[in-house]
Amino acid sequence: MIEIQLAVPEELTLVLQAKQASLAAEVSMAAAVKLYELGKLSAGAAAELAGIPKPLFLGRLADYGAPNFDLTEEELQEDLKNA
């Protein structure tokens, strides 16, 4: 696994009211959602990037304003088969 280091100004953590661990999880989730939305990652791969189970990832997409079922019928059947 590759680890990415991100410098975040301390003022920003205060504005976001986030601790280091929760900020890391939030950034990972936001990146996963955006990459999924752009079609760069499958739902399963995006969930893995976010560090959460796929059903939870799909359930949280609406929290980020992303469509949670932007799949073709074939993709949906494949996802259900692999769940």
DSSP 33: H
**Higher pLDDT among residues 69 and 79, named by residue:** 79
**Higher pLDDT among residues 47 and 2, named by residue:** 47
Alpha-carbon span 47 to 58, nearest angstrom:
8
State the pTM of this model: 0.74
Give the domain ranges of the chain. Answer: 19-82
Per-residue pLDDT of 19-73, as tens digits, reads 777 888 889 999 999 999 999 999 999 999 999 999 999 999 989 988 776 566 7
Cα 35 to Cα 18, 27, 67, 73: the distances in Å are 23, 12, 13, 21
End-to-end Cα, the chain, rounded Å: 23
